[in-house]
Each structure stands twice: as structure tokens, then as C-alpha cells.
Amino acid sequence: MIITGLIVGLVLGALMQRGRFCVTGMLRDIFLTKTWRSFVALLIVISVHAIGLTALDSAGIISTSVDTFAPIAVVIGGFIFGLGIVLAGGCASGTWYRSGEGLVGSWVALIAYAVTSAAMKTGALSGFNAWLRGFTVDATTIPESLGVSPWYFVIGLSLLTAYAVVNYRNRASSQVKGDLGVRGWRRPLHQYTAGLLIGIVGVIAWPLSGAAGRDSGLGITGPSANLTNFIVSGDLKYLDWGVLLVLGILVGAHFSARAAGEFRVRVPDPQAAVRALVGGVLMGVGACLAGGCTVGNGMVETSLFGYQGWVALLAIGLGVGAAAKLWLKPTAQSVALQRSTEEQPVRPVDHDRIARQYGSVATAPVALKVAAPSQAGVRQLAAGVYALDTVGAICPFPLIDAKNAMSRLEAGEKLVIDFDCTQATDSIPQWAADNGHKIENFHQTQAAGWQLTVVKGEN
């Protein structure tokens, strides 16, 4: 029955990849663009989970359980995890599916995360983990503490989520956004649609996992640690439903990206690789202390209204906010504005040159991040038309640099942006719409490479 874990993972990986679904970006947007729009997608997952899991538990089909609350470990671990996911460029599930898109930096973060998680759970750091998580209080879920039915919280959260969805969808309908011009499978899923489907998959996952002897729902940290232990020891007891789940996420995302023309191996420079490594270590330490990552805590424990889930999610958000303040700043790439009276043709990044220079693997000329060697700064292409090359920049730097460059332009002037960060296909058009800018000529230039033009609005 553990094969169902692989099937669930394949579906989950494809949905996350097509929906650009990463909790890191959702929390990051709160601080970077001052909007809760993408966070609503997480609320959708939690609400669908809450409805489904509460119904299954009430019917006796599953038996949900919540860990005793360890406040010190959860707060410290959540904050550390929040710092780590910003450095790594994605949360636990996001790192798994972005590895399937070909981001070598995510591979580095993933290995560090899995190894550190194993060390925290069963290895050299297990004593420290058990010691800090040993400081507990006699509390599990909020409804239990209040002595009321969890359905009150399920209904309340669902109504709040529905209001937020309607509110943001109505705003979006009155704004002009960019369109990649693709249809069918190649067209990205709306984040809210992805959230709904991921929530449904999460509900189905619990009884399937239980049938395989693992009485739990979706989770990433424990399975990642078990995969490491299985690889090292060869002990089949570690090869469980959860391990097949995370492997399925990787494979599902890979084939999804290939089918959509969004797969390309992208190698970070040494500084970016080091940051990914440090981020992965922090993710492993933080997730184990907190009792879960943005899936186990942020999607599942929250849906059961456990103290651990909601406190961990808040701590992760604070960690992301601190990391955004420390590290997410405009780079030199968007600061130097090169004006010229000589008109030049608007052109995309010379990908043939990149292929000749680096072979079939495109090397990312960034850490967090250094200027691209080909076109440093914002170049003037023609009267009122400028170009920003962010190819190789991990998210959210294409958006950060675009915002900074646009702040230096006049109303009606245009910025041509080249990028290869998949998540930016959503974040840049959404930011433009929110700020009264217009998107023109949004198209794919190569596998996992895009170009769009932002026309600055009057605001």
C-alpha cells in the first residue's frame, strides 16, 4: 500500500509546480509587496484540510492526533526555519518541487535539509532536539482547551477564507494582468485553484497513509529524514509511505516542468550555493524543533487547530520577515541606470551566447545576487525603453530588482525584463497590476526563460 504515497506525491508535485505554490513566497509577499493575496492560497489549503479531516475523524475513518505543545522549541524552531527558507529560496515542499525544475541551488538546500533532519531526529543532534522539545505544556488543540466542537473553528475559518478569496478575486477582475499566451497544460494554475486541489489531495492522503501503517497526513521533514536514513543504512524500515511521497513530489514536478517547457538545469555560483547550504541546514534544525515544516505544521497541524501549528506558522512568518529585512534588498543590477541618446533594438537575453559559453547548462550569475556579466545595470534601449537582465536570479530578486528599477523611471516609460525564475511569471505581473502598471509582450524565450515589458503607470 505504500505505493499510494508515490501516486499522491506525483499529483502533489505536479500541482505545486503548475501553481507556483510555495509558502515561502506567500509569507514573503506580506513583507515585500504588502499584500496577503497569495497567503490566501494557504488559507484555502488549511480550510479544505480542516473540513475534510474533521469530517473523516467524525466519521471514524481516521483518527487525528496532535502533539503536546512544546512552546519554546516551536517558537525557536519556527523562527529558524523561516530564516532558512529565505536563504534556501523555498520552503520544504518548495525545495523538493523546485529541484524537479532543475534548480541546482535547491538540490544543495534539499540535501542539507534532509541530512540535518536525520541528524536531528535519529542522529548526533537527536539529544538536543529531544531536550528542547521536552519543555511542554498540557495543551494540544484550541477547541479541546475551550471544550467546544472543532466544527466551530472549521466553519469560522472557512467563512473567513471565502471572504478573502472573493475580495481578492474581485480586485483582480478589475486589473489588467500579463498573460503568457499559453493554453491547456502549459498554462499555470491560479494559486487559489492549486490551493483547493492541494487541500483535497491532503485530505485523501491521510486515510491512504493510514492504510499503509502511517497514521498521519502530508509531511515533508520526517520523510526527508527517513530517506537519508534509508540511503545511509539500507534499512527497509525507513522506506515508508512518506518517503515515496517526497520522491513523488520530485518526479511529479520534474515531468510537469518538462511538459510545460519550464525545466532547465540552472547552476548557482559559489556564493549562492553556500547560502542554499546554510538555508538547508537551518530548515532541518528549525523544522525538527518546531515539529514540522510549512506542510506538517502550516497545512496539517493548523487544520486541526493545534497550538503547535498556528504558533509555528506565526514564528515562521516572523523568521521570513526578519530574513527579508536582512537579505532581500535590490542588487546593483537594478541600481545603475544607464541612459543614452543612442537608440538600440529591444532584444531578449542572448541565450545562444549563454549556451556557447556554458554548454547546455545555464550558469546562474547570482548569489543573492551579483550582477550578470553580460548586461550590468538597467540599460536604455530606446527613448523611454529600458532593459533589466535578471536571468540567473533566484526568486524574489527579479521582482525586487524590477520594483527598484521602475521606481527610477517616469510614467509611460517601459522596462523590458528577462528572467528565468518560474515564480516570477506570477509575481511580477501581479505586482504590476497592484501598482497600476501595464504588462506588454509577455512571452517565453526559452525553456524556463521569459521576457515581459512593464509600462509604468501614473501612480
HSE value, Cβ hemisphere, 13 Å, CA-based, for 99: 22
Q: Bridge-partner residues for 338, per DSSP?
A: 379
Instruction: Please calculate the CA angle 97-101-102 and round it to the nearest 5 degrees.
Output: 120
Is 293 designated active site?
Answer: no
d(CA 406, CA 413): 9
Q: Which of 22, 288, 293, 395 is catalytic?
A: 395
Q: Which of the residues are catalytic?
A: 395
